[in-house]
Amino acid sequence: MKRFISLLMSTLLLVAALAGCGDGGQASGESQNTVTLRNTASLTTSDPNQTTNTHEYTVFENIYEGLYDLNEATGGYDLRLAEKVEANEDVTEYIVTLKQGVKFHNGETMTADDVVFSYDLAQSSPKQASYVRPLDHVEKIDDYTVRIVLNQPFSPIGHMLHKVKILSQKEVTEQGEDFGKIANKAGTGPYMWEEDNYNPLTSWSAVAFEDYHRGKAKIERIVWNVIEDDTSAITALQNGEIDYMIVPISYWEDVKSSDKFTCVEKESNEVMTFCINIESPDYGSVLQNDLVRLAIMYAIDRDAVNQLVCDGYGTPTYMYINPSYAAAAPTADSLENPIPFDLEKAKELLAEAGYPDGVDVGEFIAAAGRNESYAIAIQAQLEAAGIRSTLVVQDYSVAGDRLVAQEYDLAMAYDCGNYDFNNFEQQCSSASVGIKNCVFDGPAGKFNDLSKKFDEWLKAGASTADEEERIAIYTELYNAFYDTHTLTPVITIPSCIAYNKDLNAVAVPTDYRVYDWSWNT
């Protein structure tokens, strides 16, 4: 379903995109060694500890590095700033031998002091809480060895070692309160911020780091331009102003049939989800009613959403994490009580709840663009059952902040980048402050006991390396979570990627690595 905006707005957005692209790049024809990319929203920070936004992570993965690196192309994790990682017998401690000779963008050499400093920073950030929850502390053994001490046995440590980026203690300290507000040289990645072209609201760039520890990147420069509107982004792609882009599904057939790009379709772990806030200050009493939430579940027609929004390319789902991608993830047939679409049943339940003439449930918030399309479809389905809401479309960062702050009634969200089911703790752990979409241990007290069980299941699942045992634990957890009828998956969307035919890119669903790319000579 294509969204059409006014001619004036399209023109303004395209002019802005062209102005940004004119800064240089293969796409604009000014340089043979630059790649120009779309970013769907502006940057809110340059500090990797202060975001949960996917559109920022994709940028940061080219600039900052962790002890491990997530490899979306082949699956799993690669050693990056770590040379070796060894666990003790009960996996409560890990000895990490650091790679020597690694330089930060400011020219300083990375040592154990920077690693200890970086993990302390991550522990102090609410946005990193779910990743470092099992961490007690990190201590220096010598200049190139650290000990990671955990507060419980924890086998799925890979994601934490990837997510916590190692930053230059000197650079962060010298920038002080400005760190995160301006470009910095705190990273070790293959690209470093281009300080003269850091305009986080509209356009920014990064240049290849000469002293990168794996060798200088083949592509000299990356330019990111903010193009929030999909129609304008597609126009820029078709005009050669963007070199690589994840294409919204509704435009995929047109892009493929143009025969202008290398086109790749990949299974994704990106899931669109629908959220109900039982802690809503205005409509909490309605949304805490089990029958109302159950009616909402019956009113959602996943197949219709898939056809309307995804042109049939998506996969209707009840699973929050794609088991094809993630270790220890429950499978679809393990869900005991999936709620199918049944409009009449939704109406019956609403009447049983005391609302035979329908009910108002407040605002339905969605980020402009893709999330908006799903929200429009689901709002109409709820309306057909008598469940009335007011759609509120906002900028991505505004809608995202409202979502994790629980300042909504209904909302459309999504998640991706999950490669172990332990990552689900982002949505159900009591420690996941500032990242989860639904609160289960809030003032209403409705699911407080269950919240404690979630924490117990998460701890048990992470405390064993036995895959079958972990799956059994997480299956029990996920069934209990799904039955709250607060956050429900709707569609797993495929990753449709188009890029310049002269670009040797490695197409991945989310976190691309420009270091692995090159232009045909």
User: What is the CATH number for 96?
Assistant: 3.90.76.10
Indicate whether 409 belongs to any domain: yes
Structural domain boundaries enclosing 277: 269-495
φ, ψ at 418 (rounded to 5°): -100, 120
Considering the domain architecture, whether residues 171 and 287 belong to the same structural domain is answered as no
- Burial string for 415-443 (b: 16+ CB within 10 Å, else e) reads bbbbbbbbbbbbbbbbbbeebbbbbbbbe
Indicate whether 85 belongs to any domain: yes
Among candidate residues 188, 221, 243, the one where a domain is terminated: 188
CA dihedral sign, ordered 160, 165, 167, 172: negative
CA dist 452 and 441 (Å) reads: 8
Q: What is the pLDDT along the chain (521 residues), one digit of tens a residue?
A: 333 333 333 433 443 444 444 343 455 444 569 999 999 999 999 999 999 888 999 999 999 999 999 888 877 889 999 999 999 988 899 999 999 999 999 999 999 999 999 999 999 998 888 789 889 999 999 999 999 999 988 888 998 999 999 999 999 999 999 999 999 999 999 999 999 999 999 999 999 999 999 999 999 999 999 998 899 999 999 999 999 999 988 899 999 999 999 999 987 888 999 999 999 999 999 999 999 999 999 999 999 999 999 889 899 999 998 888 788 999 999 999 999 999 999 999 999 999 999 999 999 999 988 899 999 999 999 999 999 999 999 988 898 889 888 899 999 998 876 778 888 888 998 887 777 889 998 898 899 999 999 999 999 999 888 899 999 999 999 999 999 999 999 999 888 999 999 999 999 988 899 999 999 97
Considering the domain architecture, whether residues 318 and 433 belong to the same structural domain is answered as yes
Burial of residue 84 (CB within 10 Å: 0-12, 13-18, 19+) is: exposed
pLDDT tens string 193-233:
999 999 999 999 999 999 999 999 999 999 999 998 899 99
CATH number, domain containing residue 478 = 3.10.105.10
CA dist 460 and 452 (Å) reads: 13
List, in order, residues 6 or more apart from 427 with CB less than 8 Å away: 320, 415, 436, 437, 438, 481, 487
Considering the domain architecture, whether residues 365 and 487 belong to the same structural domain is answered as yes
Place of tokens 């990682």: 85
Among candidate residues 158, 188, 218, the one where a domain is terminated: 188
DSSP state of 184: -
Indicate whether 375 belongs to any domain: yes
- Burial string for 458-470 (b: 16+ CB within 10 Å, else e) reads bbbbbbeeeeeeb
Among candidate residues 134, 157, 188, the one where a domain is terminated: 188
DSSP state of 329: P
Considering the domain architecture, whether residues 306 and 444 belong to the same structural domain is answered as yes
Considering the domain architecture, whether residues 295 and 441 belong to the same structural domain is answered as yes
Angle at 84 between CA 80 and CA 89, to 5 degrees: 130
Considering the domain architecture, whether residues 181 and 289 belong to the same structural domain is answered as no
Considering the domain architecture, whether residues 383 and 274 belong to the same structural domain is answered as yes
Q: How many domains does the chain have?
A: 2
Number of H helices, E strands in the chain: 17, 19
Quick one: tokens of 162?
A: 């990837």
Quick one: tokens of 465?
A: 């390396």
Indicate whether 439 belongs to any domain: yes
Considering the domain architecture, whether residues 396 and 487 belong to the same structural domain is answered as yes
Residue 313 CB neighbours (<10 A) = 17
Indicate whether 470 belongs to any domain: yes
